[in-house]
Amino acid sequence: MAKTIIVTGGAGFIGSNFVFLMLKEHSDYRIICLDKLTYAGNLSTLEPVMNNPNFRFVKADICDREAVYKLFEEEKPDIVVNFAAESHVDRSIEDPGIFLQTNIMGTATLMDACRKYGIERYHQVSTDEVYGDLPLDRPDLFFTEETPIHTSSPYSSSKAAADLLVLAYHRTYGLPVTISRCSNNYGPYHFPEKLIPLMIANALADKPLPVYGEGLNVRDWLYVEDHCKAIDLIIHNGRVGEVYNIGGHNEKTNIYIVKKILELLDKPESLITYVTDRKGHDLRYAIDPTKIHNELGWLPETMFDDGIVKTVQWYLDNKDWWENIISGEYQDYYERMYGDR
């Protein structure tokens, strides 16, 4: 049965990949992308689907109650998937306020709209960072859905607060919700200030590759399309009121990733520059995805050493996309596309 889905933050990295997947896998669905187009939202990313009759782009802030309610009235969505978030840890340390506003109050605005207009499912896209970190010397430990929340940064605190709010709306108002908490994503359309695309861009330009501390921090890397497929399963078949962890079983140290990128680009390791570690830098993230596998049959399809090859090749093939971001020109794209409309 055809459905209408509002995807907030759909011009960002994971959101845009989710939009592409849904239009491909559910050709009769109507997909509405609502995005504020902050620094991490890039309308040119959505260029491949802008003329798709089942796709609509709306520029708005999820904190803007009037704009959100207007969109719900117009589109009468069946499902809302909330990717919209301030998500860069370093930026949250410099300016926590905008993270609290967007990630908490924006989430509340969306859920209030869901209560007012009615929906089948509200899905909150969260992060494994709400669990804090794990010790490097205990590779047997993993985050499960029962792991207590123990945040380290203003970013992860704001995401944890949003998760608690979502669960409270379910318990108090009966709102049909689900939450997913994912490990680090990588793949096409990743914003260039994040680790993997930053290292690719710097290496191609023969610029220094800045690595925090000794580069020994460990992350569980998840290819973005695998993540999107998991969310597709959750919004259609996941149990209401449940949290699902989505992990890649692809744990790598930061320095391994940087050296792998240099190897793939045939660049020297002398480009690596070690810099002062981030404040409150989490040591290790690792997710146990047993629950989503047992309940919904999901498993990651892409091993890291395969996914990183595909990712590096994508950045080589799409230099215009990320070079426009680095130059700042991407922020003019909306005006060029819509300025006279």
* Catalytic residue (one of 78, 129, 225, 251): 129
* Catalytic residue (one of 61, 122, 131, 155): 155
128 has catalytic annotation: yes
Residue 150 in contact with residue 96, Cβ under 8 Å? no
Q: Within the chain, where are the H helices?
A: 13-25, 65-75, 89-94, 96-100, 106-117, 154-173, 195-204, 224-237, 254-264, 290-296, 304-317, 319-327, 333-338
Helices 304-317 and 319-327 sit at what angle, rounded to 10 degrees?
Answer: 70
- State how far the Cα of 233 lies from the Cα of 236, in Å rounded to an integer: 5
86 has catalytic annotation: no
Q: What is the DSSP secondary-structure string of 207-264? A: --EEEETTS--EEEEEEHHHHHHHHHHHHHHSPTTEEEEE--S-EEEHHHHHHHHHHH
Q: Which residue has the tokens 């309610």?
A: 69
Alpha carbon of 128 to those of 133, 242, 284: distances in Å? 9, 15, 11
What tokens appear for 5 in the block? Answer: 């889905």
What tokens appear for 90 in the block? Answer: 């370093």
Sheet with strand 177-182: strands edge to edge:
55-59, 30-35, 4-8, 79-82, 121-127, 177-182, 242-246
Strand partners for 182: 127, 246
Query: Would you please indicate which residues are annotated as catalytic (active-site) residues?
Result: 128-129, 155
